[in-house]
């Protein structure tokens, strides 16, 4: 499960990635891995579904419009260690 989450996270928000220099505080916040809740669910045939959604406690004190929390779901094949699909 942990390896599936790591593979999906590296695609979703690669380690060391940074927002553009002119990013808003909200953009800076959503570019931090710790801003996300992660759920992993095993499926059939070695597939694990990994869901990323903004944590309710993350980015809550920022001025401006609320951050839309549309979860992103990855299907990870744990037999070949590839991402099968991404739903945003």
**pLDDT of 45:** 96
Query: How many independent structural domains does the chain possess?
Result: 1
pLDDT averages per 10-residue partition of the chain, 88 residues? 97 92 87 94 97 87 68 96 96
pLDDT, position 7:
98
Q: How many CB atoms lie within 10 A of CB 66?
A: 10
What is d(CA 56, CA 83) in angstroms, rounded to the nearest whole number? Answer: 27
Give the pLDDT score at 26.
Answer: 85
Closest alpha carbon to 76 in 6, 14, 28: 6
Domain residue limits at 28? 2-87
């Amino acid at each position: 499960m942990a390896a599936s989450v790591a593979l999906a996270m590296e695609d979703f928000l690669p380690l060391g990635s940074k927002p553009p220099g002119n990013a808003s505080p909200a953009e800076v916040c959503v570019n931090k891995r710790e801003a996300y809740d992660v759920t992993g669910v095993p499926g059939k045939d070695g597939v694990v579904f990994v869901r990323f959604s903004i944590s309710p406690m993350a980015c809550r004190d920022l001025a401006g419009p609320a951050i839309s929390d549309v979860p992103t779901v990855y299907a990870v094949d744990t037999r070949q260690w590839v991402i099968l699909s991404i739903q945003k």
